[in-house]
Amino acid sequence: MRVFKLTLVALAATFAWTAAAEAIEVKKRREAPGKPAEVWAVVGDFCAIKDWHPAVAECEQMEEGGDTFRILTLGDGGKIKEKLTDSDDTSYSYEIIEGPLPVKNYTATLEVGEDDEPDRVEIEWEAEFDADGVEDAEATKIISGIFNDGVTGIKKKAIAAYDKREAAAGNPVSKGRDRSEDENLD
């Protein structure tokens, strides 16, 4: 009986540790006008984040040991170092190496894909991470806010690129802005 109780205690402790160690996931998405390759051409460069994310004042890209890194300088002067881990025609993945955010083991993917409606894209930014020095809810709130601002910034760039393309073709340019229902998709 004593061995049985010890086994139950060990299993319970293992389960509790495993549940506590589960990564936090955050995903934000927006729909926008355009084609994936066109939108990606505007926002997909690893350092283009400075052009579409309001919190990023500067971005410096560098190569170290065959890997690509970027140093983001935030509006408040904070710096985040990120490593590019994968990329293709309309997405990239990266990890945070160091910075002021209350997260660790952070990996993320930014992707622009086709929507189910013609001439529309789906912008998706997702990450997995562990909270570092704050409660899970606080880390989730911070990353969610960053992602929300980011996908909104990409949507604005997509609308501008779409409107430019439509104007060049002699078409009305209001189509990109008349989709209020996709302003707050998560």
Summary mean pLDDT of the chain: 87
Pairing of strands 120-131, 67-74: unpaired
Express each pLDDT in 13-26 by its tens digit. 444 444 456 999 99
Are 151 and 28 in contact by the 8 Å Cβ rule? The answer is yes
The pTM assigned to this predicted structure is: 0.83
Residue 162's nearest CA partner among 176, 174, 172 is 176
Domains contained in the chain, CATH given: 24-182 (3.30.530.20)
Express each pLDDT in 128-161 by its tens digit. 999 999 999 999 999 999 999 999 999 999 999 9
Express each pLDDT in 62-111 by its tens digit. 999 999 999 999 999 999 999 999 999 999 999 999 999 999 999 999 99
Residue 121 tokens read as 């894209």
pLDDT of residue 185: 45
Count Cβ atoms within 10 A of the Cβ of residue 151 and give its class: 0-12 exposed, 13-18 middle, 19 or more buried.
Answer: buried
Residue 99 tokens read as 């910075």
The amino acid that residue 22 corresponds to is: E
Is the predicted pLDDT of residue 112 greater than 90, yes or no? yes
pLDDT of residue 62: 98
